Amino acid sequence: DNNLLWTFTYSTNDHRLHHDIYPMPNGNILLLAAEVIPGPEAIQSGRNPALLVDNELYNERIFEIEPVGTNQANVVWEWNSKDHLIQDFDATKDNFGVVSENPQRIDVNFLNGGSGSNNWLHINSIQYDETRDQIVISARNLSELWIIDHSTTNAESASSSGGTYGKGGDLLYRWGNPEAYRQGTSNDRTLFGQHYPHYIDPGLPNEGKIIIFNNGFQRTPSFSQVDIITPPESTSGFYDYVQNTAYGPIATDYTYSDMSTDPSEFYSAIVSSAQQLPGGNLLVCEGNSGFIFELDSNDNIVWEYKVPVSNGGNVQTQGSTDTFANLIFRALKHPLNYSAFNGRDLTPGSPIELNPDLTPCNNLSVNEFNSISLEVFPNPTRNSITIKGVDNIDSTELYNALGQKVATSNKKVIDLSAQPNGFYFLIIQTGNTILTHRIVKN
């Protein structure tokens, strides 16, 4: 109903929320925050000074907050990556140890082939698994997924012991790049700048497995995949590991990539997601190009959608090929009985894009459509517009640049005096024909 119920800001010059949140089953919310560590503190943590950029390092923290009132929150649990580092660069500094013998900790000097970055981890996803009481993390710049224990106290989370799984806040499991803990080389990487790794929910096909959008960033040639893996568990939440080897599995249970022609046709260097659907299909979001599609069990595309709205809120013209213009972060499918839809009108509306291709919509013939000489004036306008060239108007809908419907009518004169200045899109339905016109109010 457009009523703001609660808001929370955690942002200063030294830290800020970014990328992802996760609403918990108990009503709390997991938040992901980046924190600036000054150079001297980073060096004390074992960072090689030659690898510092701008004399600072970004640290990643996860907070579980309990919403309070309309704009406050209590922090009830937290995890700090800085508590779980290791390094073999300087024996006089903190966290010194043998990296290859401690895969449960994060090598503060591993750059994954890069030349140095303060944003060395770049966590882009946090997902909670209620069955195991664990958090799945996507460390994009290391090309790894991590799993940590959520059952710990705050003190245990900052240590290497305690919690259901006995390792405190250390990594319980990691997969994607064994070079990050000295158990492989760059040739052993299986993930490349991945997004949205998460456990598949109980009751769905492949339940208990992890699904990942594997972007293919820094891979040659460049192409993306959807991967599904089964983490090696002796019992639920306890992950098998053989010392001085890489975490399994060696191979994926399932991989989708478009290898029919040019593999790079399916490629999104950043953002993107994949979701297991009931019945066995997968929903895939190729985020760079705003392309969402559904795969059946034979990897056939059975549904697809191209997002027609740009990052700036501008509606694109049918057939536009602007790279990154309609980039989206993630796409999820919800059933019709999803609670957020209660009381909402889900009737499909008119096409959003400009000059839409209406061929599959059973409209009038091209000749009949072209016989309509539409005129909307004045344009630009200050107060109202008049529609000329159609005898009968069944309905008109006015959309702002964000794609929000702001007015409806069945009249030939439409009042815009209450609308702010900007671009608008007028959708006119007359019989079986839908006409689109762009309006400027100034």
CA dist., res. 169 & res. 154, Å (int)? 9
Instruction: Give the SS3 label for residue 83.
Output: helix
245-255: average pLDDT: 98
CA distances to 95, 99, 105, 163, 245 from 240, rounded to whole Å, are 25, 19, 16, 18, 11
Residue type for 149, please?
D
Is the pLDDT assigned to residue 108 strictly greater than 60?
A: yes
Model confidence over 400-432: pLDDT tens digits? 765 567 888 888 899 998 898 877 878 888 776
CA dist., res. 241 & res. 172, Å (int)? 10
Between 323 and 90, the more confident residue is 90
pLDDT at position 405:
76
177-184: average pLDDT: 98
Is the pLDDT assigned to residue 367 strictly greater than 60?
A: no
Residue at token pair 């509306």: 349
Cis peptide before 308 (omega within 30 of 0): no
pLDDT at position 397:
84
Is the pLDDT assigned to residue 187 strictly greater than 70?
A: yes
pTM of the model: 0.81
Strands (E) across 39-143 are located at 56-68, 72-80, 85-86, 106-107, 123-129, 134-139
Report whether 124 contacts 19 (CB < 8 A): yes
Report whether 237 contacts 164 (CB < 8 A): yes
Model confidence over 286-329: pLDDT tens digits? 999 899 999 999 999 999 999 988 776 777 777 666 655 788 99
Q: What is the DSSP string of 6-21?
A: -----B-SSEEEEEEE
pLDDT at position 357:
65
pLDDT at position 342:
87
Maximum Cα–Cα distance across the chain = 85
The CATH number that domain 15-341 falls under is 2.120.10
CA dist., res. 299 & res. 254, Å (int)? 11
Model confidence over 223-248: pLDDT tens digits? 999 999 999 999 999 999 999 999 99
Cis peptide before 221 (omega within 30 of 0): yes
Q: How many residues does the chain have?
A: 442
Count of other CB atoms within 10 angstroms of residue 21: 15
Report whether 111 contacts 57 (CB < 8 A): no
pLDDT at position 438:
74
The domain segmentation of the chain, as residue ranges, is 15-341, 359-441
CA atoms within 13 A on the CB side of 114: 22
Count of other CB atoms within 10 angstroms of residue 291: 19
Count of other CB atoms within 10 angstroms of residue 80: 17
User: Residue 43: which H helix or E strand, with range?
Assistant: helix 39-44
Report whether 145 contacts 189 (CB < 8 A): no
Report whether 204 contacts 218 (CB < 8 A): no
286 has which bridge partners?
291
Report whether 81 contacts 61 (CB < 8 A): yes
Class of domain 359-441: mainly beta
- Between CA 404 and CA 411, with CA 406 as vertex, the angle to 5 degrees is 135
CB-count burial class (<10 Å; 0-12, 13-18, 19+) for 377: exposed
- Between CA 160 and CA 170, with CA 164 as vertex, the angle to 5 degrees is 25
Model confidence over 339-358: pLDDT tens digits? 888 888 888 777 888 777 65
pLDDT at position 393:
87
Average pLDDT of the chain? 90
